[in-house]
A and B are shown apart, each in its own frame.
Chain A
Amino acid sequence: MIHRIEVAFREGLVDPRENEVMAGIRDLGISGIERVFVTDVYWLEASLTEEQLRAVGSTLLSDPVAQVCGYGDEHVRGTEPCLRVIEVGYNRGVSDPLEYTILKGVKDIGIDTVSRARSGIRYVLQGSCTSEDIEVITHRILLNPVVQHVVQPGEDFFPSEPTYRFELRHVPLLDQSDVERDRIASSFGFSRDELNAICRYFASIGREPTDVELETFSQTWSEHCVHKTFKAKIVCDDEPIDNLLRSTIMRATRTLNHDWCLSVFEDNAGVIDFDGDHAVCFKVETHNHPSAVEPYGGAATGLGGVVRDVLGTGLGARPILNTDVFCFAPPDTPYRSVPTGVLHPRRVFKGVRAGVADYGNRLGIPTVNGTLRFDPRYLGNPLVFCGTAGIMPRWAARMGKQEPGDLVVLLGGRTGRDGIHGVTFASEKLDDTSADSSRSAVQIGNPIVEKQMIDALVQARDRRLYRRITDCGGGGLSSAVGEMGASTGVRVHLDRVPLKYAGLSYDEIWISESQERMIVAVPPENLEELLQVCAGEGVEATVIGEFTTNRRLELLYDGVVVGDLDMEFLHNGIPQLELSGARPREEWAGEDPSPGESYSSVLLGLLSSLNVCSKEWVIRQYDHEVQGTSVLKPLVGPAGDGPGDAAVIRPLLDSDRGLAVSNGINTRYGDIDPYWMAASAIDEALRQLVAVGAGLERVALLDNFCWGRATEPESMWALVQACKACYDMSLAFEVPFISGKDSLNNFSEFEDRIICIPHTLLISAIAVVPDANQVISMELKTPGNLLYVAGNTYAELAGSEYCALLGAGGRKVPEVRFEEARATMHRLAGAIGGGLVVSCHDMSEGGLAVAMAEMAFAGGLGASVNLSALPLGEAISRDDIVLFSESNSRFVVEVPVAQARRFEEWMAGIPCKQVGTVIPDTDLHIQGLDGTVVVSVPLHELKAAWKRPLDW
């Protein structure tokens, strides 16, 4: 029978979820709800005695000290008359994350008569509001229709499992009309050229394709998997470009040809040498569309995916850090301006934050830094970048190679319907039906299964039990096994794949994107030991096929061949896309804002702007210290709230060698000049490394392009400009790109409008730090110390936070003077490494004024600065330009008087001047070019303004 158990905190103890819900309701602008009670509800399919039932309730499902249980139809909270009761449960086919735990737990308390379990949440609303409001609350806060629903009276929680009757399906293609072919093409997401190529292939072998064969092409040829756009033939303003990626970013890496680059652009992540005995790999992925429709699950599985990329790099790396960058529409966007079917940005923000934190914290990977960008154009299409670095023995750095006869072993989670058609979804536009059409494309993650898999695979790697490893990500088995088998051939028995529930057809099994799965190629003689290692960690491992010699992809179900494709055509048969780029017709014609008198209030305004303000609310909820490797934390200074530059960890506990990580991103410049946007993003990432003293000797970069509609000529032109900047910067600074990712269809279509995201390039950088004990932090240290500015300031206000604040356009965007920038960074890094500098901070959004304010309030020390002393790259007569220009390659540097001479000698020939001193006083004073005071604000006001916006 079905047993129902309710669990809630005792009277007087507040369930934090109650406050979250109340906050959410306030966010919606709905008043009248006075109290919300939250109760966990469990349904058990079991035959239990009353005594057993109460044992399950009191010792397993509840905390006997702090919580109370209700059994059957007994309710424990909000029993008095109330406004409305809403019970939320998971949709059919969505795996309940708690079921496994409950079933294990009841066995541990000696009960083995529970066969299935479901969990839900009961909300009791008190107060008064309209039933429309309750509808809104229910669907905007209490549940997400993609995975949950309101439980109906008499609902059947344990429907009998669907059965599957195998039946091979062909898709007639060869003698079809063009109309019919177009229908097939669109249903599988093929372009007409692609479908024609496929038709020619099947005509040549004289048979019709099966559905799973077409699905295989659909996955393997998806933008997500092959990056058609980057590999396309492009004509950009009459300039022919064959494969944008290879002719710019990859070409720079090849030209630099650093011997410490161990594996670039070939594996799941780029790999560099760390200390001769170990290698480090780094990858940043996006998971945008799933996060738009189901922020929590979408973002969590985004992180899960990039962690598996690292685990599946070389012969397997252990994850050592995460870095996350999120782009949202402003959280204060009015609800009425949010189109139907789109989640409010605040909801998306909170969901993404929680999803990534819960998954990352549970995996035990420190989230060492990251950032947030806000722009109205991310409405409906947020960007979620999840980055992970891993470490491995140097011998495991290169991708392995299977031998014919090796077994295909599937490890980790079971396969269900989750994530089917995820990769095609990832490359489609979003619209108001996305939430419905994408239900199956959203995956449910289980971080503990992934953690167990990591624990098992690291052991298996060190015992050298497998020859090759890869992750099951986009495209599921079809991509993972299909790619792996390309060089040899592979035979897969789809009926041997362990399923979450019965009823999946062979093609669903093949393309499912269920989470927490990896594939390894195992020599038969090692299988026994591998299975033991996995069993020891409680990881399921199953042989689902073997590698062959015939360079064919052979799929079987119950012994029947359901797919048989030539690897050569599958992987090289895709016709090259042909695209064109064209420079936008009108030139940028923005003007600088007219100057003001005093700039104290402007500075306070800038500190309160979303792209500048404190992100502490997010950072604190990530564990940035697990693994015990933390050296420089995301928040620094005596009060632990200053905005650090690059984060630094010591990945090997018994070594002083460090790893620094930073990100660079600025979307505003891209609207004006995509070339200098890209150059500035790279400069920012490098600046942050230099600011902590990392140096540029061994720095590797990742690119991550998120574009609106790259296939449109002007957008393509912008993409080409950005790639050229990456090429030029990479060579100028001699820093190679080692891997990258792109997502080039980020726009939302609504009944009345199309919203394209701004061109967004995220540059992520890692640097090997020879001695982590030499790095420094950004907060001011000691009164009396001298303040220097290194790097020239230019009149470059366009795209600045200052212009955004005043609603002006600005004349010129920040450029990068390659030689000047390189010299400044190299020399400054040397000064820091030599112990001449006690604090340093790079200038980015908000320019000198914001950087100076941040250093001051982070250190709790005042500063007195004189603008007339600042090194200028061109004549500037306006205080506001010097204060707020966001010129690249600039730093504020704190130097003890005793070191001043050595520092100045060391920096000789570099634009670097003393501009002020650290003062015991608690104000920031800035004198203008003519000596008059242009900024004078107490530190506590600066800090308060900076903390206010996201202090949730």
Chain B
Amino acid sequence: MRKPRALIVRAPGTNCDLETAYALDVAGAATSLVHINRISSGEMSLAGFSIFVIPGGFSYGDDLGAGKLMARELERRLRDQVAEFVRRGGLVLGICNGFQVLVRAGLLPVPFGERQRVSLIPNASGRFECRWVHLRCAPGNPCVFTRDIAALDLGVAHGEGRLYVPGPVADDIVPVLYYATRDGSEPGYPANPNGSFRNIAGICDASGRILGLMPHPERFVRASQHPQWTARGDRGGTGDGLSLFTNAVDYARSLF
């Protein structure tokens, strides 16, 4: 069977591209890693791809705001391509810095809304933090990437991951992943590592095909990436994060 094609776009300062490509390959995609200049210059396009990923990192150093410059570039040079791609039913995934880009480019929570509606602001702790969190999927959410996932552990590593939602916009949000505790109690800090609105870790658009999340699924492809694997004696297996990519690949297969 033909492998669905995934395009990972990187900009100066993108730094989670290789492990994201690896995760997609393991999930069964044919992955291309492309510098954004090659798309803006017209040398490459999204045509023929069914998964479009903006990975984590510090695009353009996050100067003037996390993901800000890449978002402007996306808006100005790729907007029509991405619109066409989404219209075709393609999947868009923004991880960490990619999520920040999607939000600042106005692709989430409502794609091609006229302007940015929500924001990802500095963590309540005021610090960049690298730690693992427990996540619960929003019941009945339409997201393609998290199908059949109830809960999972993933790592976060960011300084600006606190979802900020101005009052009127709250209803446009489609939460996909919540920061949670295993016993179901209210997740204060550090279970909710950034003080995010309603403990939201990831959101998607109404179609469920555009997902942005702060945690890093590409960092949990093997069981031995989990902080407690040595206690679990879980040596050979795969990690929870991989399922987001396999879900995407399975869906993409069904598309074309």
Contacts and interface: CB of A to CB of B under 8 A. Distances in A.
A13 B121 contact: yes
Given A16-B122, A362-B58, A451-B12, A627 B235 contact: no
A110 B116 contact: no
Contacts of B119: 63, 65-66
B204 interface: no
Interface-central residue, A97, A627, A653, by most chain B CB under 10 Å: A653
Nearest to B218: A628
Contacts of B37: 536, 538
Interface in A249-307: none
Contact of B69 (A105, A626, A633, A653): A105
Interface in B175-203: none
Interface stretch (B1-9, B59-67, B144-152): B59-67
Nearest to A363: B15
A458 B219 CA distance: 23
Interface string A37-73: 0000000000000000000000111111110000000
Interface in A613-667: 619-633, 635-636, 638, 640, 650, 653-654
Q: Counting chain A CB atoms within 10 Å of each CB, which of B35, B122, B130, B216 scores highest?
A: B130
A452 interface: yes
A116 B180 CA distance: 47
Contacts of B166: 65
A640 B227 contact: yes
Nearest to B222: A650
Interface in A751-801: 772-777, 779, 781
Interface in A167-182: none
Interface in B113-157: 115-119, 121-123, 126-132, 155, 157
Interface stretch (B16-24, B45-53, B84-92, B246-254): B16-24
A363 B216 CA distance: 17
Contacts of A97: 61, 63
A850 B219 CA distance: 33
B23 to A, nearest CB: 8
B63 A98 contact: yes
Nearest to A97: B63
Contacts of B227: 633, 635-636, 640
A621 B128 contact: yes
A361 interface: yes
A717 interface: no
A653 B18 contact: yes
A367 to B, nearest CB: 9
A895 B123 CA distance: 41
A638 B19 contact: no
Interface string A1-43: 0000000010001111001100000000000000000000000
Contact of B64 (A60, A620, A632): A60
Interface in A502-532: none
A834 to B, nearest CB: 14
A448 B132 contact: no
Interface in B52-78: 56-58, 60-65, 68-69, 72-73, 76-77
B228 A638 contact: yes
Contacts of B65: 62-63
A16 B60 contact: no
Contacts of A419: none
Interface in A106-141: 108-110
Which of B60, B63, B166, B236: most chain A CB closer than 10 A?
B63
Nearest to B103: A65
Contacts of A63: 65, 68, 104, 116, 119, 121
B12 A538 contact: yes
A303 to B, nearest CB: 15
B142 to A, nearest CB: 24
Nearest to B38: A536
B225 interface: yes
Nearest to A66: B119
B35 A101 contact: no
Interface residues of A, number: 68
B117 A627 contact: no
A167 to B, nearest CB: 38
Contacts of A447: 13, 58, 61
Nearest to B57: A364
Given A9-B121, A109-B72, A623 B130 contact: yes
Contacts of B72: 59-60, 105, 108-109
Contact of B12 (A64, A357, A537, A781): A537
Interface in A425-452: 446-448, 451-452
B245 to A, nearest CB: 12
B230 interface: yes
Interface in A587-608: none
A446 B13 CA distance: 11
B230 A626 contact: no
Contact of A65 (B117, B129, B216, B225): B117
B128 A104 contact: no
Contacts of B104: 63
A102 interface: yes
B76 A446 contact: no
B103 to A, nearest CB: 9
A636 B64 CA distance: 35
Contacts of A537: 12, 35
A773 B235 contact: yes
A781 B233 CA distance: 10
A372 to B, nearest CB: 17
Contact of B19 (A65, A627, A640, A777): A627
A625 B133 CA distance: 13
Contacts of A102: 63-64
B126 A60 contact: no
B81 interface: no
Nearest to B69: A105
Nearest to B19: A628
Report which residue of B12, B77, B225, B230 has the largest number of chain A beta carbons within 10 angstroms of its beta carbon: B230
Given A63-B65, A65-B118, A627-B18, A451 B231 contact: no
B15 A626 contact: yes
Given A628-B19, A640-B132, A451 B64 contact: no
Contact of A626 (B38, B121, B127, B157): B157
Contacts of A630: 219, 225
Interface string A380-410: 0000000000000000000000000000000
B73 A625 contact: no
A621 B123 CA distance: 12
A890 B38 CA distance: 56
A361 B128 CA distance: 10
A108 to B, nearest CB: 4
A451 B13 CA distance: 6
A108 B129 contact: no
Contacts of A110: 76
Contacts of B219: 625-626, 628, 630
A458 B67 CA distance: 25
A101 B127 contact: no
Q: What 9 A-B pairs come out closest when comparing CB atoms?
A: A364-B15, A628-B19, A16-B126, A101-B63, A65-B119, A773-B235, A108-B72, A777-B230, A448-B61
Given A364-B57, A627-B19, A653-B22, 5 more contacts: A63-B116, A63-B121, A97-B63, A101-B63, A621-B127
13 contacts: A59-B72, A64-B116, A101-B60, A105-B69, A110-B76, A364-B57, A448-B12, A620-B129, A624-B130, A627-B16, A628-B218, A629-B19, A779-B231
Interface of B: 12-16, 18-19, 22-23, 35, 37-38, 56-58, 60-65, 68-69, 72-73, 76-77, 104, 115-119, 121-123, 126-132, 155, 157, 164, 166, 216, 218-219, 221, 224-225, 227-228, 230-231, 235-236
Interface of A: 9, 13-16, 19-20, 59-66, 97-98, 101-102, 104-105, 108-110, 357, 361-364, 446-448, 451-452, 536-538, 619-633, 635-636, 638, 640, 650, 653-654, 772-777, 779, 781, 839
